[in-house]
Amino acid sequence: MSCLLFTLLLLPLVGSGLLFFWKNNSSKYIALAFAFAEMFIAFYMLGNFDFHPTVDAPLQYEIAYPWSSYIKSSFNFGIDGMSMLMVILTNILVPLIILSSFNEKKAYPNSFYALILLMQFGLLGVFTSLDGLLFYIFWEVTLIPIWFIAGLWGQEDKRIKFTTKFFVYTFVGSLFMLIGLIYVYNQSASFALTDLYNATLNTNEQTVIFWFIFFAFAVKLPVFPFHTWQPDTYTYSPTQGSMLLSGIMLKMAVYGVLRYLLPITPLAIGGISGEIVIILSVIGIIYGALIAMISTDSKRLIAFSSLSHVGLIVAGIFASAVVTMRTGLTFEGGQGAMVQSFAHGINVVGLFYCADILYKRFKTRDIRKMGGLAKVAPKFAILFMIILLGATGVPLTNGFIGEFILLKSVFAYNYIMAVLAGLTLILCAAYMLRFYGKTMFGKGDEAVLATTKDISSVEFSVLASLAVFVIALGVYPQPIIEMVSNSLVFIYKSML
Amino acid sequence: MSVLIVLFLTAVLVLFSGVFEKGKYARYIGILGLIVGLYFSFLPDCEFFAQYKAMYEYGYNAALFTKISIVVTLFLFFLGGFAFSNHRSHQSELYSLMLFALCGGIVLFGYQNLVTLFIGIEILSIPLYVMAGANKTDLRSTEASMKYFLMGAFATGFLLFGVALVYGSVGSFDLYAIHDFAINNPKNLMLIMGSILMLSALAFKVSLAPFHMWSPDVYQGSPSLITAFMASVVKISGFFALFKLMTIGFNGIAGDWINILGVFIILTLLLANVMGLVQTNAKRMLAYSSVSHAGYIALIFFGLNNFSTYILGFYLFAYSLATVGVFISLIWVEKIKKETSFAAFNGLGKREPLLAVVSTISMLSMAGIPLTAGFIGKLGLQFWVRH
C-alpha cells in the first residue's frame, strides 16, 4: 500500500518536470491529465482509508526510509485523518485551478502549469510528512513556485515589488520556525515527529519556541499584525496564484499549528501565549471584516474576508487548546478548524474565480464600476450566489458547520471573545452581499453588458463543481468530521 | 605533494604554450593537467614525500579540500573559453597564473609549518594581484589590481609580524609545537598578540569585516572569471588555512581570540548584508554576498567537533559551485551588454532559458533554500553553532 502514497507524491513532480520541456500549446491538457490522475489516486486512497482505526494516532500508507544519520532525520510520510482531508482538498482544488485558466492566453504556458504541479508536490509533501526537517523543506518548496507564479504572471506594474515583499516576509518567518525546530531537535535528538512531541522542555523554553514557530505560521495564515503582505500579494498575483495561496497554502499553516505547535509547546499555550494568540486573531476577525466592508477592489475584498475567516479558525484551535490545558480534553476547535479549512478552501477559490470572471467582463476590479450582470448572465449569478452564501456561512452550506463548531469552542473558552468573534457572521454577510449587489444588480456599463454573454462551459464546470461541494458538505458534513476526529483527539491528548 | 608537482608542471607548460599559435592550446593543456591532478589527488601520497612531513603533509583533510578546489577550477577553465574570448592575447598567462594560484591554495591545505603557510599565501596572492589587472585597458581593472596589491601587502605585513611574535614566544615554526606551547602557556601575551595578528591577516584574505573593504572594488574591477576564482578557490584556501591555524595551532588560547572573531563575524554579517541589499550592480552585490558568506562560514569556529572539517568542506564546495553558476550568467550578460547592473539582466530568461535556470538555482542555493546544497550546508553550520 505504501507505494500508493509514493506515487501520489511523485506524480506531480514527474508531471512538472515533463511540462518544463513541453513547449507546446497542449501543455494545459497534460497538466490537467496529471492533476486528474492525482485526484483519482487521492480518492482511491480515501476509499481504502480506515475511518475508525482501533489504535491511537493511526498512520496509514506509511513510508519510512533513513535519509541522514548525521542529521537524525528520515523520509517518513504517512496519512492520518487530518492529512487525508488536506490531501483531498489539494487534489480537488488543483485540477479546478488548472481548469480555471483554460480560457486565458498565458505567456509560457508550459512553465506556468509546471509550476502549479510543482506547488502541488510541495503541498502534498507538507501534508504527509512526519518529520520536522522534511516538513520545513516542503514548506519552503511550496514557496518557490508560488513566488515565480506571482512574479512572472502577476499584474505588470506591481508584481516585482509585492512578490519580493511576500518572499522576504514568509522566508523570514520560516527561518524562525527552523530555528525553533532545531532547538527542539537538540533536546529530542531526532526530527521524527514522535520524538519532537516527547522533547522535554520547560515553560520558558516552550514559550520562546512557541513564538518562533508560530511566527512562521502567523505570517502564512496570516494572523493580524503579520498580514500586511497578504492583500497586496493576493491582489496582484494572477488569479490562479491567489487561488493557490488562499485555497491551499494557507491551510498548510492551519495544519502546521495543529500538527506541530500544539503538541510541542502545550505549556506555552496553556500560559499567556495562547490567550495572546486568541486576542490577536479576534482582532483580525473584526479588522479584516471592517476593511472588507469598505474595500472597492474585488480581490482585495476577498483577501480581507480571508483574513477575517482565518482569524476565527485560529481562535477556535487555540480556544480549545487553552481549555484542554485548563480543564480537560476538548478538541472541538480543531474539528471546526479542519472543517472550516476545507470549506474555506473551496469557497475562497470560487470567490477568486468569480472575481476573475467579473474582471474579464468589466476590465476592472473596482466593484463600484460594475453592475447589472445578473440580467445577462443568470447561470453565473446563481453559482456566484451559492459560493458567496457558502463563504458567508448560511445554514446548509459548507461554511456554516465549521463556523458553528468554531464559535462553540470559542464560547467554551470565554463568552465575550465568542460574541466578538461571532461578529464575523454579521459583518461577513454585510460585505459579501454588498459585493454581490454592486456587481450583479443595479446599473452597469451598458456598452459592456450589451456585448457580455453568460459564462463559458469551462467557467461553468469549475463553478458548478465548487457549488456542488458547497451544498453537499453543508447538508452532510459528517464524513469530514469523522475523518479528522481521531487524529485530533490524539493531538489534543498529547498536549496533556 | 604529487598533485602539487603535476599542477605546477602544468602551469609552466601552459605558460610556455603561449609561444605557439597565440596560446590557443593553453586552456586544453590546463584542463588536461587539472584532470591528471584530480586523478593524483585520489591517490595516497608517495612514500618519498613523507620526509617533508614537517613542512607539508598531504593528509586526509588536505586531500578533501584539494579535490574540491581542483573541481571548481576545472569548471572555471571550462568557462574560460567563453569568458576570455574577447581578449585573444595573453590568455595563456592568465590560465597559468590561475594554476599557480591553485598551487598556492594546495600548499595551504597541507601546511604543517608557519613558513609553508606564508609561502602558500604568497603563491596564492601574487598571481591574483596580476590577474585582477588583466584587463589592461580598463581603468577599473588597474585600480582593482593596485588596491588588492596594497591591501594584500598590508595583510602580509600583519601575517609576518604575527609569525615573528609567535616564533619569538614558541621558538619554533612548527604547527604542533605551537599547539603544545599554547596549551601549556595559555597566558603568554606575545603568543596571543601573534595569534590575533595572524587572525587579522587571514581575515583580510577571506574578507571578513572590518578587513573587507577591498573586496567590492576588487571584485567589480577584475575580469569576471577571475572574480569567480577569487570568490571560490581563494576563499576555500584562505578559510581552510585559517581553520587549521586557529583550531590546531592556537587551540589552547581559543578563549582569547574567539571573542575577537565573534566581533568580526557580527560586523561582517551586519555590514555585508545591509550593503548587499542596496547595491544596483550584480557584481558588486555578489562581492558583498561573498563577504557575508565568509561571515557565515566563520561561525564554524563556534562549536567545533569531529564533523567541523566536513561541514566546512561541504559548505565551501556548495558555495563555490553556486558562485560558478551565478557567474556563468554574469559573464554572458557582461559580454552582451558590456555592463552588470541589474537592468542588464532583463530578459535573460527569454533569451537564454537554460542559463537563467542555472543561475536561478545557484542563487537559491546561495540563499539557502531547501533542496539545494546551500541549505544543507547552512543547516549543518546551524546545528553545530547551536550546540
Residue appearing with cell numbers 476573475: A356
Establish if B28 touches chain A: CB-CB under 8 angstroms: no
The 10s digit of each residue's pLDDT in A1-28 is: 568 888 888 999 999 999 888 887 788 8
Q: Is the pLDDT of residue B385 over 70?
A: no
Establish if A160 touches chain B: CB-CB under 8 angstroms: no
Q: Residues A327-366, buried b or exposed e (16+ Cβ, 10 A)?
A: eeebbbbbbbbbbbbbbbbbbbbbbbbbbbbbbebbeebe
**What secondary structure letter does DSSP report for B6?**
H
Find, in chain B, the residue whose alpha carbon is nearest to that of A111.
B353
Which pLDDT belongs to residue B350? 82
Percent of chain A whose pLDDT exceeds 90: 41
Q: From CA B351, how far away is CA A299, in angstroms rounded?
A: 34
Q: Where are the domains of chain A?
A: 1-248, 271-496
Establish if B20 touches chain A: CB-CB under 8 angstroms: no
What grid cell was written down for A63?
513510508
Q: From CA B349, how far away is CA A220, in angstroms rounded?
A: 29
Question: Which residue among A70, A144, A179 places its CB closest to the CB of B307?
Answer: A70
A391 touches A305 (CB < 8 A): yes
Residue A143 with chain B: CB contacts under 8 Å = 369
Which pLDDT belongs to residue A74? 84
Establish if A140 touches chain B: CB-CB under 8 angstroms: yes
Taking the CA of residue B249 and the nearest CA in chain A, the distance in Å comes to 28
Q: From CA A102, how far away is CA A458, in angstroms rounded?
A: 7
| Band of pLDDT at residue B290, cut at 50, 70 and 90 | very high
Test the B interface: residue of A153, A160, A178 with most B CBs within 10 Å: A178
Residue B54: CB atoms within 10 Å: 14
DSSP A86-133: HHHHHHHHHHHHHHHTTTS--SSHHHHHHHHHHHHHHHHHHHHB-BHH
Establish if B343 touches chain A: CB-CB under 8 angstroms: no
The 10s digit of each residue's pLDDT in B40-96 is: 999 888 888 888 888 898 888 999 999 999 999 999 999 888 877 766 667 888 899
The 10s digit of each residue's pLDDT in A98-154 is: 999 888 888 888 889 999 999 999 999 999 998 888 899 999 999 999 999 998 888
| B364 with A144: Cβ contact below 8 A | yes
Residue A138 to residues A246, A256, B25, Cα–Cα distance (Å): 17, 12, 47
Give, to the nearest 10 degrees, the angle between helix B2-17 and helix B26-42.
180
The ipTM assigned to this model is: 0.75
Taking the CA of residue B273 and the nearest CA in chain A, the distance in Å comes to 14
Which pLDDT belongs to residue A483? 86
Q: Which residues contact B295 (CB under 8 A, 6 or more apart)?
A: B208, B209, B264, B265, B267, B268, B269, B272
Taking the CA of residue B371 and the nearest CA in chain A, the distance in Å comes to 7
| B370 with A140: Cβ contact below 8 A | yes
What grid cell was written down for B165?
611574535
| A141 with B382: Cβ contact below 8 A | no
Q: Measured at the alpha carbon of residue B293, what is the angle toward residues B288 and B296, in degrees to the nearest 5?
A: 135
Test the A interface: residue of B379, B382, B386 with most A CBs within 10 Å: B379
Question: Which residue among A70, A136, A186 places its CB closest to the CB of B370?
Answer: A136
| B380 with A178: Cβ contact below 8 A | no
Question: Which residue among A138, A140, A182 places its CB closest to the CB of B383?
Answer: A182
Burial of B85 (0-12, 13-18, 19+ CB in 10 A): exposed
Establish if B161 touches chain A: CB-CB under 8 angstroms: no
Size of interface A-B (CB pairs under 8 A): 28
Q: Determine phi and psi for B306, rounding to 5 degrees.
A: -65, -25
**What secondary structure letter does DSSP report for B23?**
G
Q: Is the pLDDT of residue A49 over 90?
A: no
Where does residue A434 fall: left (phi above 0), alpha (psi -120 to 50 degrees), or beta otherwise? alpha
Test the B interface: residue of A69, A70, A131 with most B CBs within 10 Å: A70
The 10s digit of each residue's pLDDT in B120-176 is: 999 999 999 999 988 888 898 999 999 999 999 999 999 999 999 999 999 999 999
Residue type, A181: L
Which pLDDT belongs to residue B265? 93
Establish if A327 touches chain B: CB-CB under 8 angstroms: no
| B386 with A137: Cβ contact below 8 A | no
The 10s digit of each residue's pLDDT in A83-102 is: 999 999 999 999 999 999 88
Find, in chain B, the residue whose alpha carbon is nearest to that of A180.
B386
Which pLDDT belongs to residue B381? 80
Sign of CA dihedral A367, A370, A371, A376: negative
Q: From CA B330, how far away is CA B285, in angstroms rounded?
A: 12
Long-range contacts of B251-256 (CB under 8 A, 24+ apart): B251/B179, B251/B182, B251/B183, B252/B179, B252/B181, B252/B182, B252/B183, B252/B184, B252/B185, B252/B186, B253/B182, B253/B186, B253/B188, B253/B191, B253/B192, B253/B195, B255/B186, B256/B186, B256/B192, B256/B195, B256/B196
**What secondary structure letter does DSSP report for A64?**
E
Residue B125: domain span: 2-386
Which pLDDT belongs to residue B322? 94
Question: Which residue among B371, B379, B387 places its CB closest to the CB of A71?
Answer: B379
Number of domains comprising chain B: 1
Find, in chain B, the residue whose alpha carbon is nearest to that of A135.
B370
Establish if A137 touches chain B: CB-CB under 8 angstroms: yes
Q: What is the pTM of this model?
A: 0.86
Q: What average pLDDT does the structure give for chain B?
A: 89
Residue A89 to residues A339, A406, A480, Cα–Cα distance (Å): 11, 20, 11
Find, in chain B, the residue whose alpha carbon is nearest to that of A179.
B382
B333 touches B340 (CB < 8 A): yes
Of A254, A223, A8, residue with least CA distance to A125: A8
Residue A179 with chain B: CB contacts under 8 Å = 382
